[in-house]
Structure formats: C-alpha cells, structure tokens
Amino acid sequence: MPAFRETGDRLRDRYDAASEVTFNRQGTRLIQRNRAFNRPTRDDFVYIERSRNFCDADPVAGSVGTRGRKCNRKSAGTDGCDLMCCGRGYVTARRRVTERCRCKFHWCCRVECQLCEKTVETNTCK
C-alpha cells in the first residue's frame, strides 16, 4: 500500500491534468472538447463543467468572492493572502487597540486588570 502523501500527490497530478469532455449528439458517449490534447485514458480524470471562479462575486451562484476578506499574509495555506486574493494583492491596515491585560484574581470574587495598548495589523484582499 503506498504512503498517504504519495496517494495525495497522484490524485493532485490527475486533477491538474483532467480533460474537459462533452457528450456526443446522441448523448451516449463522452468526447474530448479540445482534440489538441491526448485522449484521456481509463485512469485519467475528466470533467463536463468547468469549476466556478470563486475569486469574483457571482450573486446568481451565491458566491460573494474574496474582495474585502481578511487574509494571513504569512500563511502559504488557503487562508494566505497570495491564494485567497487570487493575485489581486491585499491592503495592510494598522490600528491601535486597547484591551484588558495582566489580569489578577483577588480572593474572593473579583478580577483586576490593567489596560494595555497594542498595534493590530489586518490584511484585506483588494
């Protein structure tokens, strides 16, 4: 049995190389939409409809897009600005906030805190 990582890599490679197909006139067979590529084999992935573009708003499909969404500029994952902002870039805003800090519990039944200021940075997709 192959390692889990190897299986995931194989699936991603097949997904990336998937071929778009359509039905023939009788609706009985799938035919390749772009014949410039090799015919898909039994092991290749095929698709009939293209995936929606979730980067841009599409009210009909119920997609709000990613403009204005907060992202993490340091992350390479799905929450990262590079991926989430779809190459449009992002805006960084800094603001000062006041919050409770260095809290101490006093016996019985009261908590005393100091107020601390800190700078918070938020990144938002363009």
For residue 49, is pLDDT > 90?
no
Strands 110-125 and 90-106: antiparallel
Could you tell me if 73 and 89 are in contact, meaning their C-beta atoms sit under 8 angstroms apart? no
Q: Which amino acid is at 63?
A: S
**Domain 65-126: assigned CATH number:** 3.30.2460.20
* Average pLDDT along the chain: 90
Give the model's pLDDT for residue 90.
Answer: 96
Give the model's pLDDT for residue 62.
Answer: 84
> Residue 1 has which token pair?
């049995």
Give the model's pLDDT for residue 104.
Answer: 95
Give start-end residues of each CATH 3.30.2460.20 domain in the chain: 65-126
Give the model's pLDDT for residue 66.
Answer: 93
Q: If you average pLDDT over residues 58-76, what whole number do you get?
A: 91
Alpha helices in the chain (DSSP H): 4-16, 81-84
Could you tell me if 31 and 21 are in contact, meaning their C-beta atoms sit under 8 angstroms apart? yes
Task: List residues bridging with 80 in a β-sheet.
Answer: 72
